[in-house]
Chain A
Amino acid sequence: MSAQRQASSASQTPHISPAELSYLWSSLALPNNPIRPDGRSPTQFRPLSAETDILPGTNGSARVGFADGTQAIVGVKAEVEKTVAAADVSSLSQRAQEQFGENQDGEGKSSATTTGHGSWVQMSIEIPGYRDDDALPVFLSEMMREPLVESVSSGGNADGEMAGGLKGRLVINRRWHWRLYIDVLLLSQPLSYPLPLLSLTTHLALLSTKLPKLKSLGEEDPFFDDDWDAAEYLYPRSQSRLASALQLRPPVTLLVISVGENVIFDPSRDEIAVADTLLAISVARDGGSDALKVLSIRTVDPPSRLTQPGMPNAENPASLESAAVAEQAVNGEEIPGVWRPRRGGVKRNTVAKMVKLVLQKGGVGEEVLEGLEGVEVG
């Protein structure tokens, strides 16, 4: 039971003493100017190296390595599959639409061809030392799959192909669709919560994913061009720099912690250990505009809740302290320099501050997406 509890929280609680936890917390909570153990600024990310198209046997692949040595490889495979249930449903709705009248019929047709199903995207994560049905890999994969599937471009000028988001792109015609398998391999033991690493790698792999060019038309059985050079990107792109910024891109999930009043991005394992709140925020470019939008926010149980509390000198029978401090401790108040496991939920204004930092122009989200666009794809 305790092992399971550990696995579902952010990562195994590192072995840090209450005194160290308290020291870390108070340096990270310094008003407006947190001091991080590795000297980064609150919004600074760890350096990483990335490459794409590393596996010729996949539709798309990427490798990302953080400077601390953790590496992940993602391979994307696509298979053609017959749409069974969805075909019946759409034909039913088609019939219903026909009863309503002529002009609505056209609309029904277009929606039936552009809506896909979330289950067409499958994601599995391999983490050494974990079974693939353990809590951590399952939770992580669902956390990454959800925004990916749900991201639908709301902009009016998005091209027709990506109108239904990724789900819509997977539709070939009413009877056939693509099934996407995203396999994530973490090559080393997770030194920190692996979500940002896996998310960035998946983003790059999806960007480099190509599907064979369709030669058949309309409702025929699909037939593809066997020339791989003619294959089309899953996320279509145009040559011009300006237009590429307006295209739908796969989402990126960022890990954000708050300590005291401060908001800190890309936390290391030690920093997660003292976090008050730990949020996974998924952002993507809104198809129609240059702005970013939040696709999902998940709270992750921070391991600071499982840590052991420190003992103030007053309660320590080995030391002689005034009784006043002991009273304070009994009341459950914080004594500076003594670690207390974090309790309670997330404050509304903390979440608002995090989202604002991610979304604002020139903010963290934009910086990350721009950095990823800088990686040579294809």
Chain B
Amino acid sequence: MPLDTSTTYPLTKLRLDGRRWNELRLLQAQISTNPASSGSSYLAMGNTTIMCSVHGPAEGRRGDATGGSAGSSGAVVEVDVNVAGFAGVDRKRRAGGSDRQSSRIATTLRAAFQSHLHTYLYPHSTISIHVSVLSADGSLLAAAINACTLALVDAGIPMPGLLCGCTAGMSGSASTPRDPHNDELDPLLDLSLPEEQELPFLTVGTTSSIPVGENAMDTDEEEMKVSMLNMDSKVHCSYVETMLAVGIDGCKQIREIMEGIVKGSKRLR
């Protein structure tokens, strides 16, 4: 059965789910979904579904060892990722506590948002983010970044710009140096789970900061900055530039969609 992107893609130039190389999956999102939290969001990228809720900024837990001293200069971001047992195709059994995938996503998210948010405005406090993955179909980290950004916007926590995540990969194993005359591999945007399992990919997170300084009004083009880059698979270094360029372009598209969601949503409270 032809379920292999690397074998069918060169022939059809269509991916497993019928997308072209530069197409995103359908992105739907909603904010203020949970009135019990400071901010919350629901985000679906294709079949990847994530709910995220933010509590705080609030006083950290007293029993916490780091609660007293660590946050003295700014808020501490805590991230808790929970991949539901029913998220995958097969029900996954976890051996107590959390598994490696979710703790890795949590660490990356914490690092990304700790430096992204204007935490200096809230000393001695904690911003806790809770991410629940309801259905996992690839690009988990990217979808989690987008869901967290929306929830943090809903919570009203100041940040320089929206932090958007997207994945990009190559349509083959890309383990040999790239041949500029005979370019047979295409970069792919926004990978789904079957693609993610067989192809090299990276996750990129970009933000656009508000232009400051005397030349601020001169440029119409908003500047995109890569603030997070994560890659778990092997690829020859000559392909990284292409993948990064495609990923950043995907982030730009996601940013527009997310801006629309933030502006279009009616506040319930």
Listed in ascending order, the chain A residues whose CB lies under 8 Å from chain B are 55-58, 61, 65, 68-71, 73, 75-77, 79, 124, 126, 128, 131-133, 181, 183, 185, 187-189, 191
- Does the CB pair B82–A57 fall under 8 Å? no
Measured in the bound complex, the distance between the Cα atoms of B82 and A184 in whole Å is: 12
Tell me how far the C-beta of A305 lies from the nearest C-beta in chain B, rounded to whole angstroms. 23
Residue of B nearest to A191 (CB): B36
Tell me how far the C-beta of B82 lies from the nearest C-beta in chain A, rounded to whole angstroms. 6
Could you say which residues of chain A place their CB within 8 Å of the CB of B82? 126, 128, 185
B2 within 8 A of A: no
Measured in the bound complex, the distance between the Cα atoms of B84 and A57 in whole Å is: 12
Residue of B nearest to A61 (CB): B86
Could you say which residues of chain A place their CB within 8 Å of the CB of B89? 57
Contacts A/B (CB < 8 Å), 5 sampled: A56-B135, A68-B35, A69-B35, A183-B85, A189-B36
Could you say which residues of chain A place their CB within 8 Å of the CB of B37? 69, 188
Tell me how far the C-beta of B130 lies from the nearest C-beta in chain A, rounded to whole angstroms. 5
B167 within 8 A of A: no
Chain B, 79-114, CB within 8 A of any chain A CB = 80, 82, 84-91, 94, 96-97
Measured in the bound complex, the distance between the Cα atoms of B55 and A191 in whole Å is: 14
- Does the CB pair A70–B135 fall under 8 Å? no
Query: Which one, B80, B86, B97, B130, contacts A55 given CB within 8 A?
Result: B86
With known contacts A187-B51, A187-B53, A76–B35 Cβ distance under 8 A: no
Tell me how far the C-beta of B24 lies from the nearest C-beta in chain A, rounded to whole angstroms. 20
Measured in the bound complex, the distance between the Cα atoms of B32 and A69 in whole Å is: 11
Measured in the bound complex, the distance between the Cα atoms of B40 and A70 in whole Å is: 12
Query: Which one, A56, A65, A128, A183, contacts B130 given CB within 8 A?
Result: A128
B28 within 8 A of A: no
- Does the CB pair A77–B36 fall under 8 Å? no
Measured in the bound complex, the distance between the Cα atoms of B249 and A337 in whole Å is: 68
Given A69-B37, A132-B94, A185-B134, 20 new contacts (CB under 8 A)? A55-B49, A55-B86, A57-B47, A57-B135, A69-B36, A71-B34, A77-B85, A77-B86, A79-B91, A124-B85, A126-B84, A126-B132, A128-B130, A181-B86, A183-B86, A185-B132, A187-B51, A187-B53, A188-B37, A188-B53
Query: What 0/1 pattern do residues 128 to 142 of B give for CB contact below 8 A with A?
Result: 001010110000000
Residue of A nearest to B63 (CB): A3
With known contacts A71-B36, A131-B96, A77–B134 Cβ distance under 8 A: no
Could you say which residues of chain A place their CB within 8 Å of the CB of B84? 73, 75, 126, 183, 185
- Does the CB pair A55–B91 fall under 8 Å? no
Could you say which residues of chain B place their CB within 8 Å of the CB of A132? 94, 96-97
Measured in the bound complex, the distance between the Cα atoms of B34 and A128 in whole Å is: 14
Could you say which residues of chain B place their CB within 8 Å of the CB of A57? 47, 86-89, 135
Residue of A nearest to B33 (CB): A71
Tell me how far the C-beta of B171 lies from the nearest C-beta in chain A, rounded to whole angstroms. 26
Residue of B nearest to A183 (CB): B85
Could you say which residues of chain A place their CB within 8 Å of the CB of B36? 68-71, 188-189, 191
Tell me how far the C-beta of A4 lies from the nearest C-beta in chain B, rounded to whole angstroms. 14
- Does the CB pair A187–B132 fall under 8 Å? yes
Residue of A nearest to B135 (CB): A57
- Does the CB pair B51–A181 fall under 8 Å? no
Chain B, 16-68, CB within 8 A of any chain A CB = 34-37, 47, 49, 51, 53, 55
Most chain B CB neighbours (cut-off 10 Å) among A55, A57, A73, A75: A57
Tell me how far the C-beta of B110 lies from the nearest C-beta in chain A, rounded to whole angstroms. 16
Tell me how far the C-beta of A208 lies from the nearest C-beta in chain B, rounded to whole angstroms. 13
Tell me how far the C-beta of A137 lies from the nearest C-beta in chain B, rounded to whole angstroms. 12
- 8 shortest interchain CB distances as A-B pairs: A69-B36, A75-B86, A69-B35, A183-B85, A77-B91, A188-B36, A181-B91, A58-B86
Residue of A nearest to B94 (CB): A132
Could you say which residues of chain B place their CB within 8 Å of the CB of A131? 96-97
Tell me how far the C-beta of A76 lies from the nearest C-beta in chain B, rounded to whole angstroms. 7
Tell me how far the C-beta of B196 lies from the nearest C-beta in chain A, rounded to whole angstroms. 16
- Does the CB pair A75–B85 fall under 8 Å? yes
Measured in the bound complex, the distance between the Cα atoms of B162 and A232 in whole Å is: 45
Residue of B nearest to A76 (CB): B86
- Does the CB pair B96–A133 fall under 8 Å? yes
With known contacts A57-B47, A57-B87, A183-B86, A73–B134 Cβ distance under 8 A: yes
Measured in the bound complex, the distance between the Cα atoms of B94 and A57 in whole Å is: 19
Tell me how far the C-beta of B79 lies from the nearest C-beta in chain A, rounded to whole angstroms. 12
Measured in the bound complex, the distance between the Cα atoms of B135 and A181 in whole Å is: 15
Measured in the bound complex, the distance between the Cα atoms of B186 and A369 in whole Å is: 56
Residue of B nearest to A186 (CB): B132
Residue of A nearest to B136 (CB): A57
- Does the CB pair A69–B91 fall under 8 Å? no
Tell me how far the C-beta of A190 lies from the nearest C-beta in chain B, rounded to whole angstroms. 10
Measured in the bound complex, the distance between the Cα atoms of B86 and A35 in whole Å is: 42
Measured in the bound complex, the distance between the Cα atoms of B49 and A181 in whole Å is: 20
Tell me how far the C-beta of B101 lies from the nearest C-beta in chain A, rounded to whole angstroms. 16
- Does the CB pair A181–B85 fall under 8 Å? yes
Measured in the bound complex, the distance between the Cα atoms of B87 and A56 in whole Å is: 10
Could you say which residues of chain A place their CB within 8 Å of the CB of B35? 68-69
Measured in the bound complex, the distance between the Cα atoms of B132 and A131 in whole Å is: 15
Residue of A nearest to B86 (CB): A75
- Does the CB pair B85–A55 fall under 8 Å? no
Chain B, 107-131, CB within 8 A of any chain A CB = 130
Could you say which residues of chain B place their CB within 8 Å of the CB of A70? 36
Could you say which residues of chain B place their CB within 8 Å of the CB of A79? 90-91
Tell me how far the C-beta of A326 lies from the nearest C-beta in chain B, rounded to whole angstroms. 37
Measured in the bound complex, the distance between the Cα atoms of B34 and A65 in whole Å is: 9
Could you say which residues of chain A place their CB within 8 Å of the CB of B80? 128
Measured in the bound complex, the distance between the Cα atoms of B87 and A189 in whole Å is: 21
Tell me how far the C-beta of A196 lies from the nearest C-beta in chain B, rounded to whole angstroms. 16
